Amino acid sequence: MKTEASRRMKNVRQLLLGRSISLMGSGIYTICLPLYILKISGSLTQMGFFYALTALPAVAFTIPLGIFVERRNHKKILIICDVVSGTLFLFMALLSMNNRLEMLWLYAFGMILGVIDRIFYLSSSVLFSELNTSDTLEKMNGLKSICDNTASVCAPMVGTMLFGAFGFTMVLLINAFSFLLSSLQEMLIEYPRIQSTEKSDKVRNQLKEGIHYVIHAKHILAMFLLVMSLNFFVAPSEEIYYPGILIQLHHLPEAWYGFTSGCFVIGTLLAGILVYRIKNMNLERYMKELFLANSSVMAFMGLLSLIMPSDWKLLFYLLFLILMMIEGMLNAFVNIPLISGFQRDVDISMQARFFSLLTFCSNLLIPIGIAYAGILSEWLRPDGAFIVQNLMVILLVMIVYYLKDKGSKKLEKS
């Protein structure tokens, strides 16, 4: 007879497998979509407008979606999301077969799929917490990191091969199949959730309650603000700093740039494997040190760019790749216990609202951070700006943990 612990682990693995299948399909679609847009429109401006406009509904409705998701059966929501997404992709494939998949259709489907993706993310985050215990969260988040990064590595390679060999219609059909297969996988999850008997309140009141909860849980608020700030300071790395350092300053071939992301993903995969395989790793004890190490490595990458002679391109590039792998590991070592902490400390009844608030606030700061990073890079060079940004993060982490420790000592005295 199965123990409760083994049953829980089986359910978590069923969730992650279903999630990985749909992520693989989405990743293939994501890498091929810009190629298709360029093919039918020939315009980078059109592509920019497409991504900006299709992202708006998901960002605008993130908080109401979190409230909608909160008191519903999260397993059913995942299955419905996958079935609807699969059906939409089948319809898109049918249009593509008949040469009728034009930009207007892509805009409409993009907006709808963006909202569905946000609902899926919020539901799967809460369901993951419900299926785990506080003792298994960090270990299973390590497995989740392995699954997510494996999909992110494989999907672009498979997607470009499929697009080149069989065209966009085949990509859409495979994506539809992946979502439908994922829904079948999720049906196997045992989910004896007791439905809330509380009467639903108005959206405005539920939002106020969620904000009140975050503000008055001081340790959660501190980490919430830290995550928001990190999105502002660190999110521009891939868009501004890394290409600025490698291509603009050191004049490395653009083809080489893609390997930096590959090294980062390899680092996150290695970290996920370590967290999953090593018992009682308890990274949360070292969160402050991991935050500081993460930013120190990135600051060193900027310093290396400043001091390395311009004719030592190959050596600089090899060192940069090694540092990117280390950065990927440290990034995962920070994110896994950080998410595990939120999943453990935030009440289950509040998690959908909490994650929707966190996602919404972070998404607002990212474009502002990217714009600011671009201005700072023009003024200080990309490597100088990268050093300054990461020194700011180090200072911010020191302040947050000083205030947290001070608050903890006050509580102990009282």
Domain match, 74 and 212 both: no
User: Considering the domain boundaries, does residue 392 fall inside one?
Assistant: yes
Domain match, 182 and 58 both: yes
Q: In this structure, are residues 122 and 65 in contact, taking their beta carbons and an 8 Å threshold?
A: yes
Domain match, 55 and 85 both: yes
User: Considering the domain boundaries, does residue 185 fall inside one?
Assistant: yes
Q: Which two tokens stand for residue 313?
A: 């391109």
Q: What is the C-alpha separation between 31 and 22, in angstroms, rounded? A: 14
- Chain-centre distance of CA 333, in angstroms? 14
Domain match, 125 and 79 both: yes
Domain match, 221 and 337 both: yes
Q: In tens digits, what is the pLDDT along the chain, a chain of 414 residues?
A: 457 777 878 888 888 888 888 888 888 888 888 888 888 887 767 776 787 788 888 888 888 888 888 777 889 999 999 999 999 999 999 999 999 998 899 999 999 998 999 899 889 888 888 888 888 888 888 888 888 888 877 887 788 788 888 889 999 999 999 999 999 988 988 876 545 545 455 666 776 777 788 787 778 888 888 888 888 888 788 778 888 898 889 988 876 876 787 888 899 999 999 998 887 778 888 999 999 999 999 999 999 999 988 889 999 999 999 999 999 999 999 999 988 888 888 888 788 888 888 888 887 787 788 888 888 988 999 999 999 999 999 999 999 888 877 765 555 555
Domain match, 181 and 304 both: no
Residue 171 burial by CB count (10 A; 0-12/13-18/19+): exposed, middle or buried? Answer: buried
CATH number (domain holding residue 348):
1.20.1250.20
Q: What is the C-alpha separation between 122 and 112, in angstroms, rounded? A: 16
User: Considering the domain boundaries, does residue 226 fall inside one?
Assistant: yes
User: Considering the domain boundaries, does residue 294 fall inside one?
Assistant: yes
Q: What is the reported pLDDT for 322?
A: 96
Helix axes 137-166, 254-277, angle to 10 degrees: 150
Q: In this structure, are residues 36 and 159 in contact, taking their beta carbons and an 8 Å threshold?
A: no
Q: How far apart are the first and last CA of the chain?
A: 48
CB atoms within 10 A of CB 409: 10
What residue numbers bound the domain in which 358 lies? 206-409
Residue with tokens 């009728």: 100
The amino acid at 300: F
How many domains, the chain? 2
Q: Which residues contact 10 (CB under 8 A, 6 or more apart)?
A: 2, 190
Q: What is the reported pLDDT for 98?
A: 92
User: Considering the domain boundaries, does residue 414 fall inside one?
Assistant: no
Domain match, 253 and 315 both: yes
Domain match, 284 and 332 both: yes
Domain match, 184 and 299 both: no
Query: How many residues in total does the chain contain?
Result: 414
Domain match, 170 and 247 both: no
- What percentage of the chain's residues is helix, strand, coil (to nearest 5)? 85, 0, 15
Q: In this structure, are residues 349 and 202 in contact, taking their beta carbons and an 8 Å threshold?
A: no
Q: What is the reported pLDDT for 33?
A: 86
User: Considering the domain boundaries, does residue 280 fall inside one?
Assistant: yes
